[in-house]
Structures are given as C-alpha cells and as structure tokens.
Amino acid sequence: MAGDFNAEQKRYLEGFASGIAAARLTGGLALGGGAAAAPSEPTGPDAIHIKAQDKTVKDGGKLCDQEKWKRAENPFDGHNRLIREAAAGTQPKPEDNFRWRYHGLFWLAPNKTHYMCRMRIPNGILQHWQFAGVADLADAHGGPYTHVTTRANLQVREITPEHGQAFLDGLTDLGLTARGAGADNIRNVTGSPTAGIDAQELIDTRPLAKSWHNWILNDRSLYGLPRKFNVAFDGGGVMPVLEETNDIGFQAVEVVEGAGVEPGVWMRLVLGGISGHRDLARDTGIVLKPEDCNLVADAIIRVFIENGDRTNRAKARMKYVLDAWGFDKYLAAVEEKLGRKLDRVAPEHVAPRKPTDRFSHVGVHRQAQDGLNWVGVVLPVGKMTTDQMRELARISSECGDGQIRLTVWQNFIFSGVPDAKVAEVESRVAALGLTTKAAGIRSGLVACTGSNGCKFAAADTKGDAILIADHVERTVSDLDVPVNVHLTGCHHSCAQHYIGDIGLIGAKVPVGEDGDMVAGYDIVVGGGFAENPKIGTEIWKAVKAEDCPGRVEALLKTYIALRTSKDESFQ
C-alpha cells in the first residue's frame, strides 16, 4: 500500500503515530489495502488545524509529537476511550496524558499516580455554593484541599484514575467545566476581579469574559492551537489583572475628543504577552467596541492557528509569529479575515490608565455601592483546605453577596459585604487560620505548582515560598510595605517571576566536583505590571534553594535602607 502514496503523503505517514492519520489523508479509506482514494480537502472544525499541519509538512517541517498526537486522535474523539482505560486503572501514555488535558485532567509528575483537575472559571467568579461544591468534590474524589492559580482558577489534586470522570461530572452538576483547561488550548479567561463593584472601573468585564468563555467552549475549531493561549480583560479598575502577560489583552481605556473615533470607553488591543519569554504585550494602537472583542480575538487566533510553529514547542506561541512578521503584517492578516479595517487611535488621544492599587486584593476596600465592601483574604501560595472552603462559602453567603472572586494573585475576595458585617468576616476568616491583613510579604507571595506536581519544575516553589515568607517575617521586622515575591519552577513562568518585585526561577545548582545538582533559583528584581510594566533584571544565578531566604532578606533590608520614603516602590 505504501507504493500508492506520493512523496508528500509518504512524509506524513512516516511522521504519524497511528494509521488514523493515514485515514485522514485518504478520506478515511484504503487502510486495508487496494488503491488509495485521492486526498480530499479536509472539512469540518478540525480542518483549519489539519491544513496548517499539512502546510508545515509540505514546507519541509517535521511535526512535533503533540501535533502528531492531535492528528492521530483528536482528544475530544478519544474521550470515551480515555474514560474506559482510566476506569480499568491503565496509566495514560504521554499522548493520552496530553489528550486528557483537553478535558481538564493532568496526570502529574513526580509520582504519576493521580490526576490534577484544573477548571475554567470566567472572570474568576464563583457562587458560594459552587465553591463549597468544589470542596465536596475534592473530598469525594481527590485530596482535601485546592489551590487558586495565577489565572484566577481552581485546581484539585490527588484525584485517583477511576475518579477522574466522576470529578468532571460533578463539575458539570455545579455549572462548572474543565474543558480545554490544559494542553494547546485557550486557557481560563481572566477579567478584573472587582468588576461591577469598583468605583474606578471603566467597564464591567464580567459579561465580556463570560461571553468569550462561551465562545471558546462552543467552537471545536478553537481547540488544538499550536500552543496554549491566554486572553484577559482589564476593566480599568484598581485591581490589576496582568493582561500585559497575556497573548491577547483587552484594556478598557477612555478615548478623548479628536481621536478620529467617537470619544468614550473602548477596549485597547495589546498583543504578544508571554512574560516567561521576557516579553510583555505591546499596544497595537487598535481600539475596539467591547461587543467586537470576541470577533477580533477569534480572527487573531485563527491567524495564529494557520501560521504558528507546529514543529518546535519552544517557539510555538503567538509571540513568535508576531516577532517574525511584525505587528503590521499580523494585523493586516487579521483585518483580511474580518473583512474590514480596525479603528486605531494615537496614544495621545487615550487618557492615561488610572493607577492600580497593588494590594487591593487583600484587606477591606469600599465598593462603588454605598455601604458595601470587598474583603480580600490571603491564601499562603494559594492553598485552602476543603474545610476552610466550606466555611468561607458560608461566610460569603451569610456576610456578603454570595460570590467568591478569585484573583491572579492566588487569593480571593468576598464581595458585597455591608459595613456592619466587615468585622464578622475578619474574625471568622481569622478563626480559620487565615488573614485579611495586607502585611509584608505573605500577601504578595505567588508560586507555581513546583516540583511537587509539575515535571518541568527545578525546585519546590510552593515549599520554598513558605520558607522565604517565614524567614522574612522573622528577620525583616521593619518591612512596612507589601512586596511581591514570585517563585516559578521553570522557564514556562506560570508564576510570572519577571514581573515580581523579586522573582525566582527554578534552576539546578551544581555542588561539589562530581556533577551533583541541588534545587535552586536564578533571582531577578525590579519587575512590574499595570501602569509600571517591566521585565525584571537578573542579579544572581544558581542560588541554592536553602540560601534564597537569606538573599531575599538581604534585598529587602537594602531596599528599606536605601529608599527615600515608604512611597518609593521596590521597582
């Protein structure tokens, strides 16, 4: 049968993991022998991806493993097989671990005995009963705790293989989903955590985030990108959402008279943020009506799907297409897809963003609504036990508006708390061993999953973050301003170490002369975000993890000694 294929078809067949790829090439025919049908044009929602893979191979590229896996069996088509195999106790092969991630389950290093489930929570907002329901699901199927992620999302760990689907079914019962939460998909949609309650905001991001969330969920062609993809909506309020670290950021801005478009609130389009690759999103000069965000994001992503690198995972993010093409060419391709030009305004016709409050995610803050407050609770490296979660849900229901709003700072806020209930919230939170106080280091501590659950990690980021916080609280008693310390386990930079006041990225540190290595970090300082976006500068390489608390102490003491006032930021 091999002789029936031309040279181009043979290249495909050599590259693919299973005969299903061959079936696609032959229109699903002829695997059993006989003359192959002529290759047919792919159709349906997967066609855009198949054509991009075809083009890659035609141009002489070798598809990376993940592309071969997607092509051999679309993870959605493989769902029922995955369930059957998990129920039978079969450990997923690497390609099935990848496919499970389309359904939100991750078979995790280092032990690889359990799944972790990452959800999708648009704008990070949960009802109290959903929050308590996730705690119950974790108890029934996984470990008795959850983590808040840096995309204002929840993760539950220690889910045994046979419980994976039951956990996902439980999410559906709660009106939640994990679909597309991992692998090469558009990740949880973030929006301003104080949307709708912030006197400073220009626009309420909740409907925008929810609408984009539903747009993605209901279009299979928007899954299976060349690489993961992040989209964020910033409403212009006091709490930053770090949209500059996203592939697409929509920023609410005020356009003033004389810009050539109607004055008022528009969404400015920024593109190409990926802080782990030392790049923050850049302004395109384009402004959109809020109702056009989905259509434009869709077109941007389709240009990426068609032109992203499918051969090299390290270069597969949209940033690399932007770097290769330049913004003008990329945006021209987007406009061609849309069939119209997008509006542009010069920076001088956009009012400056109102300042953010770097610690508005912690403590008590007045809402736009008279007599109401939001109250931010510190979660050490994002962790809560399920017992804590159930009581937090009760507090939200009895003292607030019933919502729990997760933030990208790995914590959450209660919203709609009347003045008369603030003290009760604070004392009930304290009774759980948590705090609402925005003191020192702990409220700005961000850490990725680290070596306890991620195969890429060079260090135990969460454990080391706690050690650093404990040490600093003992040794830097005069730390009177909040400081952001971000620990990330590898170059993927899930904890965005480059935008922290102090950032640590996991590194193996050589010790002795016989090639032994221990966990440690490279250390950067002076990163920033929102109105002060900046990629931090590396100052130390390969510091042993055990020495990092002392280095952070030294940095903080130097800052306190050299600053001219408390208002001078670490940056």
List residues binding ligand SF4 (CB under 6 A): 448-450, 454, 456-457, 488-490, 492-494
- Shortest CB 375 distance to ligand SF4, Å: 29
Nearer to ligand SF4, 184 or 204 (CB): 184
76-81 contact pairs (CB < 8 A, 24+)? 76/102, 76/220, 76/223, 79/103
| HSE, side-chain direction, 13 A CA sphere, residue 312 | 6
Indicate the residue type of 6: N
Nearer to ligand SF4, 192 or 246 (CB): 246
- DSSP bridge partners of 528: 534
Distance set, CA 160 to CA 135, 174, 396 (Å) = 16, 20, 30
Nearer to ligand SF4, 313 or 544 (CB): 313
Nearer to ligand SF4, 52 or 548 (CB): 548
- Shortest CB 370 distance to ligand SF4, Å: 42
Nearer to ligand SF4, 171 or 494 (CB): 494
Token code pair at residue 407: 């933030």
- Shortest CB 174 distance to ligand SF4, Å: 25
Nearer to ligand SF4, 84 or 278 (CB): 278
| HSE, side-chain direction, 13 A CA sphere, residue 519 | 22
- Shortest CB 381 distance to ligand SF4, Å: 12
Nearer to ligand SF4, 367 or 493 (CB): 493
Residues 534 and 528 sit within 8 Å (Cβ to Cβ): yes
Q: In this structure, what DSSP letter does residue 274 have?
A: B
- Shortest CB 167 distance to ligand SF4, Å: 20
Closest residue to ligand SF4 using C-beta atoms: 489
Backbone angles phi, psi at 330, to 5 degrees: -65, -45
Place of tokens 């709609």: 416
- Shortest CB 448 distance to ligand SF4, Å: 3
Dist CA 571 CA 17 (whole Å): 49
Dist CA 252 CA 273 (whole Å): 17
Q: What is the DSSP string of 292-303?
A: GHHHHHHHHHHH
- Shortest CB 544 distance to ligand SF4, Å: 18
| HSE, side-chain direction, 13 A CA sphere, residue 368 | 13
Dist CA 30 CA 40 (whole Å): 13
- Closest by CA to 76, choosing from 241, 220, 267, is 220
Contacts of 182 (CB under 8 A, 6+ apart): 100, 101, 102, 104, 105, 106, 118
- Shortest CB 410 distance to ligand SF4, Å: 12
Nearer to ligand SF4, 148 or 269 (CB): 148
Nearer to ligand SF4, 236 or 536 (CB): 536
- Shortest CB 276 distance to ligand SF4, Å: 7
Dist CA 360 CA 363 (whole Å): 7
